[in-house]
Chain A
Amino acid sequence: MSASISILVTGSPTQSQAHHSAIRFLNAAIKNGCKIDSVFFYQDAVLVANQFICLPDDETQLSQRWLSLSEQHGFELQVCVAAANRRGIINREEAQLNQKPHESVLKGFSVLGLGLLTASLSKPINRFIHFK
C-alpha cells in the first residue's frame, strides 16, 4: 500500500522557500505513487491564500500553483482560521462578522480550524512532513 502524505507549511511565501520546496516534494511524491492526503497552511504560510496578491507575470504565481495542484490531485488546501484572521486573510463570513468591507481569501483555499491539522496528525496511515 503506498504512503499517504500529510503536509504542513508554516513558512512565509516571501521570506522562505517553504512553498517551493513543498510543491517540489509533493510533485515528486505523486510521481512515486504516493497519495497527498492534505496540505495545511499555518503561521505566515496562510499569506499565500490572499486573493489580492499581484505578482509580476514573470514570477512564479505560487497561489495559483497551489490551486492547480489541489484541483489536479484532489486534496484540500486547508488554511488555519486563527492564523489567517490574525494576518488579514478572511473569508466572507469573517468579513461580515467583523464589519470588514470585503473577504480577502482566494477561492479554492478552505479556511478552517486547527483541529483539521490535528486530525491529519491522528491518522496512523499518514506520513507527516513540515515545510518552514
Chain B
Amino acid sequence: MAATITTTVIIDSPPIGRINGKEGLDLALVCAAFDHQVNLIFVDDGVLHLLDNQDEQFFDDKMHDKQLKALEFYGIESIYAESESVSQFGLSPTTLIESVELINRNQINGLCQNSDHTVTFS
C-alpha cells in the first residue's frame, strides 16, 4: 500500500478582497478527500480568516468561516495559525475559532520540511 502523502497548504491572503483563501481551502479539501494528511496553515493576513463571529451583514459577499469551523468533518484535522501574525494583529487565541493551533514560524518551517508538498496561496 502506498505511503500517505502529506500536503501543506499555506494561506497568507485576507478573507476579503482576495479569492486566494477560498481557492487554497478548496485544494486542501480535495487533498483531504484523496486521503492526504493535510496541514492547513494561515499566516500574515491569512489569520484573519480564523476570526470567530464574523458578521456577514457588513459584507456584500459570502463568508466561508462556517466551513472553516467544520473542517474536521472533511478530513482536515490540522489547522494552524502563525503565532507571530496573530500577535502582530493584536489578536488573542480566544478571538480565533476553536480548532486552531498556534505555532511559530520555525515550527511552520518544520511542517513544510516534513511534507511531500507545500502549496502557498498568496
A residues neighboring B (CB under 8 Å)? 8, 10, 42-43, 82-83, 86, 113-115, 117-119, 121-122, 124, 128, 130, 132
CA distance A83 to B19 in the complex (A): 10
How far is it, in angstroms, between the C-alpha of A81 and the C-alpha of B16 when the chains are bound? 22
Also in contact, A43 and B5, with CB within 8 A (given A115-B34, A122-B34, A132-B122): no
List the 5 closest A-B pairs by CB distance, nearest first.
Answer: A114-B30, A118-B34, A118-B30, A118-B31, A121-B117
Contact yes or no, A118 B2, CB < 8 A: no
Greatest chain A CB density within 10 A among B27, B33, B34, B120 is at B27
Q: Please tell me if the beta carbons of A118 and B23 are within 8 angstroms of each other in the complex.
A: no
> CB-nearest residue of chain B relative to A82?
B26
Interface residues of B (CB under 8 A from A): 2-3, 5, 7, 19-20, 23, 26-27, 30-31, 33-34, 36, 116-117, 119-122
13 A-B pairs, CB-CB below 8 angstroms?
Answer: A43-B19, A43-B23, A82-B26, A86-B19, A113-B30, A115-B33, A115-B34, A117-B30, A118-B34, A121-B117, A122-B34, A128-B117, A132-B122
Give the residues in chain A near B20, CB-CB below 8 Å: 43
Report the minimal beta-carbon distance from A130 to chain B, rounded to whole angstroms.
Answer: 6
Residue pair B36, A122 in contact (C-beta under 8 Å): yes
Q: Nearest Cβ distance between residue A118 and chain B, in whole angstroms? A: 5
Complex Cα spacing A62 to B29, Å: 31
Chain A residues, CB < 8 A from B121: 10, 43
Shortest Cβ gap from A113 to chain B (Å) = 8
Please measure, in the bound complex, the distance between the C-alpha atom of A82 and the C-alpha atom of B24, giving whole angstroms: 12
User: Are B23 and A121 in contact, CB atoms less than 8 angstroms apart?
Assistant: no
Query: Nearest B residue to A43 by beta-carbon distance?
Result: B23
Complex Cα spacing A119 to B36, Å: 10
Q: How many Å lie between the Cα of A93 and that of B7 in the bound state? A: 32
Query: Residues of B contacting A117 with CB < 8 Å?
Result: 27, 30
